[in-house]
Amino acid sequence: MMIAETNPTPVHIACLAADDGPEIVAAARLLLGEYRDYARAVAGPGFKMAKFEAEIAGLPASHIVEGGGLLIAWAGAAPAGCVTFRPLPEVLPERATELKRLWVRAPFRGRGLAERLVEAVAAATRATGGTAVYLDTEPDRMPAAVRLYRRLGFTGCPLYRPFDPGVRAFRLGLA
């Protein structure tokens, strides 16, 4: 018998800041490290690690970007998930943001955290005058991610920069 969760842990989402303490930076590194391990397992030896390792090591500075950042979903005091985002002015004819590295830890899945993180990126994009959120993923390796993105209104679009074979791009227009 399944028992409904009557008092779920409150969740809040916060953007990593330059003055965050070591415990928050450690949580960001933990989440991105788990994402890296998952991506490596799914993608195999072709997953490009050097740039991503530098990104993790460079926290928080590597994600303090005007019009972008790293959002952490907290379930109480526990880091539950994250997403990174950055502006894409150099590759698109519209004000847009690129969503990257969406991750929700296994114990926190099924609670709508991924949706809330994506919605927070969309809200941050709107707040800076952006008109769209773009992302790329590998549908064959991450079908659940594609289902989530489609459910949230993302549609397939042309690739917005060179990618490896099997990568598909998606766009969410912001009204």
Check whether the bond before 8 is cis (ω within 30° of 0).
Answer: no
pLDDT in tens, 62-120: 888 888 999 999 999 999 999 999 998 777 788 999 999 999 999 999 999 999 999 99
More confident call, 85 vs 51: 85
Which amino acid belongs to residue 44?
G
What is the reported pLDDT for 3? Answer: 47
CATH code of 96's domain: 3.40.630.30
**Rounded Cα–Cα distance for residues 109 and 100 (Å):** 18
**Rounded Cα–Cα distance for residues 86 and 68 (Å):** 4
**Rounded Cα–Cα distance for residues 133 and 154 (Å):** 9
The answer to whether position 3 is within a domain reads no
* 29 pLDDT more than 60: yes
Indicate the pTM of the whole model.
0.90
The answer to whether position 5 is within a domain reads no
The answer to whether position 129 is within a domain reads yes
Which amino acid belongs to residue 73?
A
Q: How confident is the model at residue 7 (pLDDT cuts 50, 70, 90)?
A: low
Structural domain boundaries, residue 125:
11-173
Q: What is the mean pLDDT of the chain?
A: 89
74, 104, 112, 130, 153 from 171: Cα distances, Å:
27, 21, 20, 12, 8
The total of structural domains in the chain comes to 1
Highest average pLDDT, of 26-40, 48-62, 88-102, comes from: 26-40
Average pLDDT over residues 128-155: 93
Per the listing, tokens 């390796």 go with 141
Which tokens is 161 given?
């920069």
pLDDT in tens, 115-141: 999 999 999 999 999 999 999 998 888
Which amino acid belongs to residue 21?
G
